[in-house]
Structure 1
């Protein structure tokens, strides 16, 4: 809709591949973090436990198996799970926040608001601060996941934008409040970082505040419950995105993966594909946790690139004063300025996302997100010249309403140009 007509198919193809890959990496990262938190609790509660990387991989398989089962047999209760997850999101926030504020030793306001720690060894505090944004940015990607479910949402044209904005506003306020509380309750940083928690210092903060492993486990379990609820919805979202790209003929074996199972009325093959890819990516953890961490940071890099493409195209149409078919949800005169800010911020973030966390950089500490992303883009380009430029015409637009007829949808897939 935004791209120049002559380049529309190519731009859409590349953006589609980048988006699908980014969300696949994001789903892997959520499964990894959920499994890692479970392993972190095992380390916290069992001092004799010797963690192995393959343990984490098996835990990832267990987590994705549970998420797949709910997406296959529990789709009717998935909205209820998401609602309960949203309620827990607020309730656990209050419970953990009260426990920390009441029980934990308090840091000074000077430490919280004015002290700067450059723990990465960077010569510039500005670079250190920018690299430190990466974890924060990761927490705020994926808000557009609601778009992937738009064909299953009533009044999607107005509901989905409201969901996205409310997601950012609510979680932004909660995250800021939680951050301030953690900083006031942090205690001795070196001591917190040195405790064995499987890479989750927040567990050590919980334990130091309560003086009890059981209480810390209960608080951490609240985070894991929310992670599971998020993972259920994320797998559904990524599978719909994968299904949509296959329906448009963008994926290899598109006809196979664009199939909607007539009994459950869900794209079961797309769900299975996403789950299998997550299981395969989890094998990287056996060889090197650094390599898997590259995939996790890669998800943020790829998502921000996927955001940049349509926003840049939209701004170009605005500046050329071309006609734009806006939907019912518009930002009015602020729209262009918000678009320009989004581009500036995304470019700034993309520059620092491939940076390693600390210096000096070694083969072990290197952030491979940049090279992996470039390699993936090259693969997408090769696929375009081998397959895409011959067959791909862009997204299929169907006016189907909220209830999609499975048989009709599958017929439309088979009638895609060139048999794709």
Structure 2
């Protein structure tokens, strides 16, 4: 993990111009590997019946006997795939015409990947083979066993799994770039401890090198925790999904409240039109539903090793944040700072001062 992190760190700092190329190649591989993985499954694997795919419920693996709870907990794995789709927003200050480009990217990402993911899901279910062998594989990764059952070759299964690893590795470049910008923006606004240090933009590379270093250091430290105790590691990373979904719920609930209270909403150049309220309400209900089940343990009976520590870890983070707020944050944090260019600054001035500003600019150029 630390070696991968150092490679990603190096690209994000010293070879930042390669990042768009890497993302483009990763996007092409994403589509190409989708076809390359699906075709062998469809051609070689033993076919399951439509009744098995669409009507059979397997709920005897986790210890939960209630089929409703089993279904809800099974949905959480899929939910993880929808975490971080707001990453493009974190890069918006480095995107041209971000008010239009970023929302378009968010929508197209969900639409395109949603279609591909559903197609791949159907392919996996129709070609899953022996379910018991897949679920109880020694590798602990059912997808590897599914590939092996379909092809009958360890080499082919290894190559197919390597395709997935390559895509995951490529995604790490964008992940660190996105999270580091979010970290930098929060530090710039005074929202982090040692904000003055982490908010610095390197004058040579013109990127937040210290924020990138902070994110990379945290990743390496987390990987070291996993060496000592996988239970402690899982307890910490269990925070990620529930924390992100809570962060999604807050702005969505504020928007829904404002829309239905009759207050005027100032829209940007991109809106969802008449579909907006319905989508907002659905997103809010879905987020609340997911946050209810995210802290549930995935297996019964519950032990120290399989316990879901998302709720207590989330509570600890909230407590830490509140402590930092009352001790330091409320004295320095005044809300997000908006950076504007000279033209935008002039538009905020009274008409007379706008004219003086234009004249002074002309004299400087002369």
1:298: which partner in 2?
Answer: 239
Could you tell me which residue of structure 2 aligns to residue 89 of structure 1?
Answer: 30
1:189-223 Cα distance to aligned partner (Å, 9 max, x none): 221233322x3211111122111121111111111
C-alpha distance in 2 between matches for 1:353 and 1:370: 8
Q: Could you tell me the TM-score, scaled by structure 1's length?
A: 0.79
Which residue of structure 2 aligns with residue 123 of structure 1? 65
Write the mapping of 1:223-262 to structure 2, written as runs, cut at 5 A.
223-262=164-203
Please say if 1:151 is aligned against 2:93: yes
Q: Is 1:163–2:105 an aligned residue pair?
A: yes
1:105–1:185 CA contact under 8 A, matched in 2 = yes
Report what 2:264 is aligned to: 323
- Measure, in 1, the Cα distance between the counterparts of 2:257 and 2:155: 56
CA distance in 1, matches of 2:314, 2:95: 32
SS in 2 for 1:396: coil
Distance in 1 (CA, whole Å) between partners of 2:187 and 2:313 is: 23
Q: Indicate the residue corresponding to 2:81 in structure 1.
A: 139
Q: How does 1:264-275 map to 2 (within 5 A)?
A: 264-275=205-216
1:114 paired to 2:63: no
Asked whether the equivalents of residues 246 and 257 of structure 1 are also in contact (C-alpha less than 8 Å), the reply is yes
2:280 aligned residue = 339
| Per-residue CA distance 1:38-94 (angstroms, 9 max, x = gap) | xxxxxxxxxxxxxxxxxxxxxx11111111111112210110100110000000000
Question: 1:34-49 residue pairs with structure 2 within 5 A?
Answer: none
Superposed CA offset, 1:317-349 (max 9, x none): 212222222100011222222111111110000
Q: How far apart are the structure 1 equivalents of 2:218 and 2:332?
A: 25
The higher-RCO structure (CA 8 Å, 6+ apart) is: 1
Which of 1 and 2 has greater Rg?
A: 2
Deviations 1:217-251 (CA, angstroms, capped at 9, x unpaired): 11111111111111001100000000000000101
Task: Please give the secondary structure, in 2, of the residue aligned with 1:138.
Answer: helix
Q: Is the Cα–Cα contact under 8 Å of residues 203 and 220 in structure 1 kept in the other structure?
A: yes
The reply on whether 1:371 has 2:312 as its aligned counterpart is yes
Q: C-alpha displacement at 1:290, in angstroms?
A: 2.9
1:194 to 136, 139, 149: 136
Q: Does 1:354 align with 2:295?
A: yes
Q: Is the 8 A contact 2:299 2:306 kept in 1?
A: yes
Q: Distance in 2 between matches of 1:109 and 1:317?
A: 45
Contact kept in structure 2, 1:70 and 1:78, CA below 8 Å? yes
For 1:293 and 1:173, how far apart are their aligned partners in 2?
A: 30
Equivalent runs, 1:6-25 vs 2, <5 Å: none
Gaps of 5+ in 1: 1-59, 402-420
2:161 to 208, 220, 224: 220
User: What is the CA–CA distance in structure 1 between the aligned matches of 2:80 and 2:239, rounded to whole Å?
Assistant: 10
Query: CA–CA distance in 2 between the matches of 1:320 and 1:173?
Result: 35
2:11 to 61, 70, 73: 70
Kindly tell me the number of residue pairs found equivalent between the two proteins.
Answer: 341
Separation of aligned partners in 2, 1:365 and 1:106: 33
Q: Is the 8 A contact 2:44 2:150 kept in 1?
A: yes
Secondary structure of 1:359's aligned partner: coil
What is the CA–CA distance in structure 2 between the aligned matches of 1:278 and 1:208, rounded to whole Å? 35
State how far apart, in whole Å, the 2-side matches of 1:232 and 1:203 are.
25
Residue matched to 1:53: none
318-327 vs 304-313, greater mean Cα deviation: 318-327
Alpha-carbon displacement from aligned partner over 1:365-385 (angstroms, at most 9, x marks no partner)? 110011000110010001111
CA contact (8 A) 1:291 1:368 kept: no
* TM-score in terms of structure 2 length: 0.91
Q: CA deviation at 1:185?
A: 1.2
User: Are the equivalent residues in 1 in contact too, given 2:134–2:142 (CA < 8 A)?
Assistant: yes
1:174 to 116, 120, 125: 116
- 1:288 Cα deviation from its structure 2 partner: 2.4
